[in-house]
């Protein structure tokens, strides 16, 4: 397969630092002024395609679980290199259960961008905003390649920050969808519905239960912190696409074992984290049960949906390559626009 040109927004390299040898620090506010959902979508699709072509270097996430030490928290180290874009670095990101009562986001993290030729730290930047946008973009690209034709009914289970990001990214597609939002917090449900009606004009309504949200959905996005199954097999109709984006299993075993196709973003990660982790560890789901990595479908290496009636499970555990490629884009824009603060880590 002939390589496709790198999109202009994903250009290789970039202008040199205005202060050679120094590092650019970018805050969340800096990044919010530079990164759009539209550019996140472009970068995520590009990285999936290059993943399918074998043009990225990314080991599986390294997890630091602090629960054994009495802390309700975990962190992941996510190194990555997107070869055609020349983008290299690492993301350090985690979830902190006590943060909401402290007035802090549940997800906290940072991205360190490096020059792959020298190891120079080009930039240190907030990781949470990039994570949220690329998570939403992953949902939208998954739906683009795996949802049934004419899919028009969307369910969002989990009305937190990433639930918003998924809904926002999916709303940018050409289809006009009706949306049902479920969350154990009525305040969060209503808040997300009101915000999205205001921002998109879509028919977005709350669902009192998870069953009410997903039972007629063409696309069901499960983006919760639940650590037990909350979705029954009988609720998922033929032809539905389920995006399981939580850190733990959210659908009952019967659905995971009977679904027509399972697609993942990274096979190595999906067997050890997220939706099918427990079934994989018990030997009830193996590598032979995974139809494809999404990058293989985006790159045209493997087919996507086989029929309109298939129920498909997509498990996007999260690719560090997405974060690093987007961070590289943000860094280039920051240099062009004079954003951020320079520091000297070498002195």
- Kindly name the residue from 91, 153, 168, 277 that is annotated as catalytic: 91
Q: Which helix (H) or strand (E) holds 100?
A: helix 99-102
Domain 147-318: CATH class, spelled out? alpha beta
Structure token digits, residue 17: 């630092």
Q: CATH topology of 16-130+321-343 equal to that of 147-318? A: no
Quick one: CATH architecture of 16-130+321-343?
2-Layer Sandwich (3.30)
Q: What angle do CA 148, 288, 238 make, to 5 degrees?
A: 25
Specify whether 91 is catalytic: yes
133-165 confidence digits (pLDDT tens): 999 999 999 999 999 999 999 999 999 999 999
Q: Give tens-digit pLDDT for 176-214.
A: 899 999 999 999 999 999 999 999 999 999 999 999 999
Q: What is the residue extent of each domain of the chain? A: 16-130+321-343, 147-318
Helices (H), 103-160: 128-146
- Residue 8: the pLDDT is 58
Average pLDDT over all residues of the chain: 92
């Amino acid at each position: 397969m002939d390589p496709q040109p790198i999109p202009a927004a994903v250009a290789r390299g970039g202008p040199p630092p205005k202060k050679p040898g120094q590092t650019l620090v970018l805050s969340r506010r800096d990044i919010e002024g530079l990164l759009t959902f539209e550019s996140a979508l472009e970068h995520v699709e590009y990285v999936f395609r290059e993943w399918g072509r074998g043009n990225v270097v990314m080991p599986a996430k390294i997890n630091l679980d602090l629960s054994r030490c009495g802390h309700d928290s975990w962190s992941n180290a996510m190194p990555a290199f997107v070869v055609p874009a020349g983008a290299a670095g690492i993301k350090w990101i985690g979830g902190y259960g006590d943060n909401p009562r402290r007035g802090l986001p549940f997800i906290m993290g940072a991205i360190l961008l490096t020059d792959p030729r020298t190891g120079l730290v080009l930039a240190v930047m907030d990781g949470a905003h990039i994570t949220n946008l690329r998570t939403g973009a992953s949902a939208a690209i998954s739906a683009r390649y795996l949802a049934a034709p004419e899919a028009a009914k969307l369910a969002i289970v989990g009305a937190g920050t990433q639930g918003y990001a998924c809904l926002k990214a999916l709303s940018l597609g050409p289809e006009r969808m009706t949306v049902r939002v479920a969350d154990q917090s009525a305040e969060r449900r209503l808040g997300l519905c009101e915000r999205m009606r205001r921002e998109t004009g879509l028919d977005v309504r709350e669902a009192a239960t998870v069953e009410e949200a997903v039972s007629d959905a063409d696309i069901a996005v499960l983006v919760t912190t639940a650590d037990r199954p909350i979705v029954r097999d009988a609720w998922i109709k033929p032809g539905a696409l389920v995006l399981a984006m939580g850190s733990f299993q959210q659908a009952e075993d019967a659905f995971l074992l009977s679904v027509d196709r399972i697609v993942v973003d990274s096979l190595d990660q999906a067997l050890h984290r997220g939706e099918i982790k427990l079934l994989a560890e018990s030997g009830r789901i193996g590598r032979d049960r995974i139809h494809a990595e999404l990058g293989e479908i985006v790159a045209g290496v493997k087919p996507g949906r086989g029929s309109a009636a298939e129920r498909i499970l997509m498990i996007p555990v999260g690719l560090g390559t997405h974060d690093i490629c987007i961070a590289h884009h943000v860094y280039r824009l920051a240099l062009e626009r004079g954003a951020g603060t320079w520091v000297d880590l070498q002195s």
